[in-house]
Amino acid sequence: MLTVHHLNNSRSQRVLWLLEELGVEYEIVRYQRQPDMRAPKELRAIHPLGKSPVITDNGNTIAESGAICEYIIGTYGNGRLIPPPNTPERLRYTYWLHYAEGSAMSPLLLKLLFTLMPKRAPALLRPLVRKVSNTALTTLVNPQLKQHMDYWEGELGKSEWFAGNEFSGADIQMSFPLEAAAARGGLEQGHPKAMAFLERIHARPAYARALEKGGPYVIGR
């Protein structure tokens, strides 16, 4: 049986959601974040990098959200959650599937990093670290993040879902960047179509079932 090595409050929540959408049987092995928010060392026994998500299935160990999504849809989808080959929608699907981690998450991670740095710096260095962090956020990170959010807004103005008019695995992949942007990037300011996208995915029964099985998830809540 397919096993999801599930780290609480992480990207692996998307894997549970995908499996619920497809009705695939699976089991969950749970891991809890350490106080510093890093994954526990036990995950290294599953994959050398010790990160989540990771799945094991039929002797295969698969990491990286995009690769996991491709594997699950290719193995269990029977044509579901993926547009037909050689169509514009399929090309968009492939793009968004990989853009989600390859491009969208970079400014969001930088936003988190520069926001946390002043809080975790030694007291004597905190004013300097805060000044450096604020400068980086104002001049580099926030403008990049706004550019990405405006991009999502424009693309969702072309069709209801990222790959076209049908819900697909690309939307599951893109859920995490949009939820993170809603939590800490100001997505609600001037991006009604992106916010409506989040409302649509949160209303899906499979999304709710994945939350029940995965446990508390507060990235975008």
Amino acid 221: pLDDT: 38
Token representation of residue 123 = 């007291």
| pLDDT tens string 95-111 | 999 999 999 999 999 99
Q: Which residues of the chain does CATH 3.40.30.10 include?
A: 3-82+207-214
Token representation of residue 83 = 């547009």
Amino acid 34: pLDDT: 78
- Binned at pLDDT 50, 70 and 90, residue 19 comes out as very high
The predicted model gives 190-218 an average pLDDT of 94
The answer to whether 47 touches 54, Cβ cutoff 8 Å, is: yes
How many other C-beta atoms can be found within 10 angstroms of the C-beta atom of residue 89?
19
The per-residue pLDDT of the chain, averaged, comes to 94
Question: Does the structural domain 88-204 have CATH classification 1.10.10.10?
Answer: no
Question: Does the structural domain 3-82+207-214 have CATH classification 2.60.40.1180?
Answer: no
CA dihedral 156, 158, 163, 164 (to 10 degrees): 120
Rounded distance between C-alpha atoms, residue 210 and residue 213, angstroms: 5
- Statement: residue 158 has pLDDT above 90: yes
DSSP 189-215: SS-HHHHHHHHHHHT-HHHHHHHHHH-
